[in-house]
Structure 1
Amino acid sequence: MLSKKNQLLTVLCIGALWGPATSQTSIQLSPKESSVLISKHIYGHFAEHLGRCIYDGFYVGEGNTTIPHTNGVRNDVLSALKELKIPNLRWPGGCFADTYHWKDGIGPKGSRPSIVNNWWGGVTEDNSFGTHDFLNMCELLETEPYLAGNVGSGEVQELADWVQYVNFEGRSPMSDLRRANGRDRPWNVKFWGVGNEAWGCGGHMTAAYYSDIYRKYATFMSDWSNTGGLYRIASGANSADYNWTETLMQKLPKNLVKGIALHHYAVIDWNKKGSAIEYTDEQYFKTMKSAWFMNELVEKHSAIMDKYDPKKEVALVVDEWGGWYEVEPETNPGFLYQQNTMRDAMIAGMTLNIFNNHAERVKMANLAQTINVLQAVILTKGEKMIKTPTFHVMEMYKVHQDAQLIPLQINSQSFVWNGEEIPAVSASASKGQNGKTYVSLVNIDPKVAQKVELNLGGSYAGVSGRILTAKQLRDFNDFDDANRIQPQAFSGAKLSKERLSLSLPPFSVVVLELNGKK
């Protein structure tokens, strides 16, 4: 039984007082049981030609005189994304990718043909942001590009030429064209998506038909060294379409595929997605339930992959995930612009914990999307830029990138709504290359604090941490108050030999750093 004091009061280091009930969760860490690395590529991002993600988000144009930029890319955006240490960036889509013809986006900008974005808002784009612009931006960001190839409306030769254009160092028609356009050395792009959502906007194909199409396109995407250097990623399942994964694993030869994609969004109801900021308690629960479904999806898709790939040589690549709501009032419905509250911080923390804990199979993921679209980490408005709660979660979690996974077992109390329940607490842990141990914890319950007891599997000399929470669940950062929600120091964790205890406030994310192992 908890004391009345603990039932009545949880004191945060940031000075806020909470008065909810408290439940208890236990976690057992097993630091000696794993050699699995949490790939940094799990923390990837996604930039589609959609709404204000590229134009007015990343790119404001070389002639802009009011917003500081480098070759047209906003300097504040570059700085913020480098703070996250983003490991990869997916482009140009999404659904847009299967309508995009890359040769329209190279050469003198004044000579590039325009394109109508049929998928997102019907706007006309001038192709001023193309292959050179994106790949040079990735160099500025010190991140790896992930190019999504056009399989839906493009031809095999078109994709083969793109690979040659960006990767071939010797003399060839495409590398000569690249040099004529001002780039001598290749970019050596490793990650390639062979189409996107082939079951839907990428062509409404069957799994069997797409498998044959994939084999054809992938065959002509040469790396010229025959070393398997290209990381080809197949268009994978829509959420719980397990037959799609089964078919691909049966039909795709391992020498042609490095990853199978998976797309899943936390959505209340696809026909009535609800507001990003004015949601009910019931809608909050349903969003969390949809987000937690990612755990089941990863486990079931992984089990299918294990049958055909027991050595786990093919990665599960969750290259679209995040929360999806109705657009903000008075914005273009095709632009998918939404605000970002503490609900989104809960989605991010929970989902990244799921990916970390399944890092043996999940080796890459991409949050949708980076700027001004869906669950963005950055929002822009003219000269102003803000970091969302999701940004702060990903910044706190970057300590897990390329760290050694520490397996854990968790016995969580439940978050209950109208007889339905999901775990209130999620967690993941790792040992960084600096020798320190990190534990990330999320309490999604909006009203009940969680007393957490951890058996660390070893003794540590000290613990520190940071917390992300807010006064209200529906709080968000806006252009009038950009720092309403941001991480604060957390000193509420108590360390005693191999045990650690703390109280997680409602709707909070905590990342702990343990050092000085004895």
Structure 2
Amino acid sequence: MAMPAAAQTAITIERESEIGTIQPEVYGQFLEHLGTQLYGGLWVGEDSDIPNTDGVRDDVFAALQKLQVPVIRWPGGCYADIYHWRDGIGKRTPRVNLAWGGTSEPNTFGTHEFFNLAERLGAKTYLNVNLGSGTVNEAADWLEYITGNGQTALAQERRGNGRAAPWKVDYLSIGNETWGCGGRMRPAYYADLYAHWASFMVVDGEKPVMIVSGAHDGNPEFSDEVLDHPMIGEVSKGISLHFYTLPTSNWSRKGAATGFAESEWASTMERTLRMDGLIASSIAMIDSHDKLPDGYGLYVDEWGTWFDETEGRSSLWQENTIRDGVVAGLNLNIFHKYADRVPMTNIAQMVNVLQAMILVDDERMTLTPTYHVYEMYALFQNAKSLRVAMDGPTYSNGEISIPALSASAARMKDGRLAIALVNADPGADHAIAIPRTGAERATGRILAGNAMDSRNSAAKPEAVAPRPATIRQDGNRFTAVLPARSVSVWIVG
């Protein structure tokens, strides 16, 4: 039962103080060969009884279309550094997925299937080439196969496999987590390899944005040393950062996805809010390297919640509750704050795995609270992020004390304001007030849960779904009550 609302919090939007454009790619997705994300999740094959187009489930595709997916990262992740692209074209070569549990990998979803999916969705492509177990020649050939527009053998081979026109690679990373699953490399060694390989990553057409694989949150020194390389700024446009939200901050016992105590709600929120400091310190680190070009970016290309394995489910499958939705809102608000320096992020991951948009069980599909947050926030794509200030309430549990409220705002192309509001307090509603100008009106939607682990299911697909928000006009301000455990998006204009 929610407690009565506390004193009203004034939220100030600095309408003339633009931070930068929120690039659509901030709402990027991540598609890895992991668990049942691809096989049985997104991809069922053309012969399946489940309705599909070219092997991709029609229901999942339609749901992704509504998110206006701007970019998809593929094939990994750790899987990228064991992936050999020729296994996934023409006659497919089954392998064992050594990156994720030794499961069977049929390779029926490969280059053609990925690029066709992205093209149908209108999404840009973010390709991770295999540095860990591959060769520079293999990677260069893959790019020629994908983008070649002439009469070379590889371009002709692609045409023979059914694709006449070349595809476009928009973003390219060489290796993934090279300090760990990508090869356990020293940073200086990786930087040398990156500079070497980058010299041969030639595409026919516009050059992709080159991204260096950086550190996880616990090892910032790796990224710092990579950026020391004298040529890294010549061959890349940015560096990645990976950060996962674990309720316990303990990789051997991460915490449960459902049925958790309030202490784990609090620790989840406390940990996920560290993203702000990680981005700030990473930007400061980038700026300390004077050989890097202006505008060198920070790409948060893996982030999201990570809980303990779900018994009886495939690898890294996990339930998605209103807690995940609140985590998504908090992080998206942080990314808006750094719109001038964070041009892309990729939530992990798209279907069935980790903080997924969609959960699939045979013919049944469920949209998660995280999905609904992404759908609500889609109007922030290409909007101008504005500075927001407030002195709001605090949520405390044990030794943890965090801001109960989070907000971001942006000016859309039509001049109206988009405002996102998160109440991370699991037990109390909070009242807010936002200044109103002239004859402005406000409408909005709100996503909330009746319990800390409220979630959708095949039996109750709308248990956690957006509903109209109650916003009042009170003279020269808008007022509302943000329920406990909620995410709201308003349009003001």
- TM class, shorter-length: over 0.9
1:450-465 paired onto structure 2 within 5 Å: 450-455=430-435, 458-465=437-444
Summarize the Cα distance change of 1:451–1:164 in structure 2 as closer, same or farther, 3 Å threshold.
same
Query: 1:477, 1:64 → 2: CA distance?
Result: 26
1:494–1:502 CA contact under 8 A, matched in 2 = no
1:245-260 paired onto structure 2 within 5 Å: 245-251=223-229, 252-260=231-239
Q: Using the TM superposition, name which of 233-242 and 70-79 deviates more.
A: 233-242
1:150–1:195 CA contact under 8 A, matched in 2 = yes
Q: Determine the structure 1 residue equivalent to 2:216.
A: 238
Deviation track 1:94-113 (CA, whole Å, cap 9, x = no partner) reads: 10110000011001xxx321
Deviation track 1:237-256 (CA, whole Å, cap 9, x = no partner) reads: 11142222222322243231
Q: Determine the structure 2 residue equivalent to 1:7.
A: none
Aligned-residue offset at 1:355: 0.5
Q: Does 1:36 align with 2:20?
A: yes
Query: 2:163, 2:219 → 1: CA distance?
Result: 42
One-letter amino acid matched to 1:155? T
Q: Determine the structure 2 residue equivalent to 1:346.
A: 326
Summarize the Cα distance change of 1:339–1:35 in structure 2 as closer, same or farther, 3 Å threshold.
closer
One-letter amino acid matched to 1:266? T
Summarize the Cα distance change of 1:263–1:493 in structure 2 as closer, same or farther, 3 Å threshold.
farther
Summarize the Cα distance change of 1:124–1:45 in structure 2 as closer, same or farther, 3 Å threshold.
same
1:302-321 paired onto structure 2 within 5 Å: 302-308=283-289, 312-321=294-303
Match of 1:407, SS state, is strand
What is the aligned counterpart of 2:244 among 242, 260, 265? 265
Q: Does 1:289 align with 2:267?
A: no
Query: 1:167, 1:419 → 2: CA distance?
Result: 54
What is the aligned counterpart of 1:511 among 453, 465, 489? 489
Q: Does 1:198 align with 2:175?
A: no
Deviation track 1:152-193 (CA, whole Å, cap 9, x = no partner) reads: 101011111111111121122221211121111100111112
Aligned-residue offset at 1:441: 0.5
1:27-106 paired onto structure 2 within 5 Å: 27-34=11-18, 36-65=20-49, 67-106=50-89
Query: 2:416, 2:331 → 1: CA distance?
Result: 23
Aligned-residue offset at 1:365: 0.4
Q: Using the TM superposition, name which of 342-351 and 271-280 deviates more.
A: 271-280
2:19–2:339 CA contact under 8 A, matched in 1 = no
Q: Using the TM superposition, name which of 428-437 and 391-400 deviates more.
A: 428-437
Aligned-residue offset at 1:93: 0.9
Summarize the Cα distance change of 1:128–1:492 in structure 2 as closer, same or farther, 3 Å threshold.
same
Aligned-residue offset at 1:311: 6.8
Query: 1:288, 1:19 → 2: CA distance?
Result: 19
Unpaired stretches in structure 2, ≥5 consecutive residues: none
One-letter amino acid matched to 1:291? T
Query: 2:36, 2:353 → 1: CA distance?
Result: 7
One-letter amino acid matched to 2:131? V
Q: Determine the structure 2 residue equivalent to 1:10.
A: none
What is the aligned counterpart of 2:113 among 116, 133, 143? 133
Q: Determine the structure 2 residue equivalent to 1:473.
A: 452
Q: Determine the structure 2 residue equivalent to 1:440.
A: 420
Q: Determine the structure 1 residue equivalent to 2:365.
A: 385
Summarize the Cα distance change of 1:504–1:350 in structure 2 as closer, same or farther, 3 Å threshold.
same
Query: 1:250, 1:441 → 2: CA distance?
Result: 39
Aligned-residue offset at 1:330: 1.8
One-letter amino acid matched to 1:285? A
Query: 1:348, 1:449 → 2: CA distance?
Result: 19
Q: Determine the structure 2 residue equivalent to 1:491.
A: 470
Deviation track 1:396-427 (CA, whole Å, cap 9, x = no partner) reads: 00010011111112323211111321111111
Deviation track 1:263-322 (CA, whole Å, cap 9, x = no partner) reads: 000002212112101111111111111110111101110111122368742211111111
1:78–1:140 CA contact under 8 A, matched in 2 = no
Match of 1:57, SS state, is coil
Match of 1:503, SS state, is strand
1:364-379 paired onto structure 2 within 5 Å: 364-379=344-359
Query: 1:466, 1:21 → 2: CA distance?
Result: 19
Q: Using the TM superposition, name which of 311-320 and 202-211 deviates more.
A: 311-320
One-letter amino acid matched to 1:464? T
Summarize the Cα distance change of 1:35–1:414 in structure 2 as closer, same or farther, 3 Å threshold.
closer
- Root mean square deviation of aligned Cα: 1.6
Aligned-residue offset at 1:480: 1.1
One-letter amino acid matched to 1:164? E
Q: Does 1:300 align with 2:284?
A: no
Deviation track 1:374-409 (CA, whole Å, cap 9, x = no partner) reads: 110100011110100000001000010011111112
Query: 2:33, 2:163 → 1: CA distance?
Result: 23
Query: 2:293, 2:376 → 1: CA distance?
Result: 31
Query: 1:306, 1:455 → 2: CA distance?
Result: 36
2:143–2:201 CA contact under 8 A, matched in 1 = yes
Summarize the Cα distance change of 1:437–1:363 in structure 2 as closer, same or farther, 3 Å threshold.
same
Q: Does 1:179 align with 2:159?
A: yes
Match of 1:321, SS state, is strand
Q: Using the TM superposition, name which of 431-440 and 446-455 deviates more.
A: 446-455
2:5–2:431 CA contact under 8 A, matched in 1 = no
Deviation track 1:308-342 (CA, whole Å, cap 9, x = no partner) reads: 3687422111111110001222224xx10100011
Query: 1:370, 1:26 → 2: CA distance?
Result: 36
Unpaired stretches in structure 1, ≥5 consecutive residues: 1-16
2:136–2:197 CA contact under 8 A, matched in 1 = yes
Match of 1:439, SS state, is strand
> When the two structures are aligned, how many residues end up with a matched partner?
489
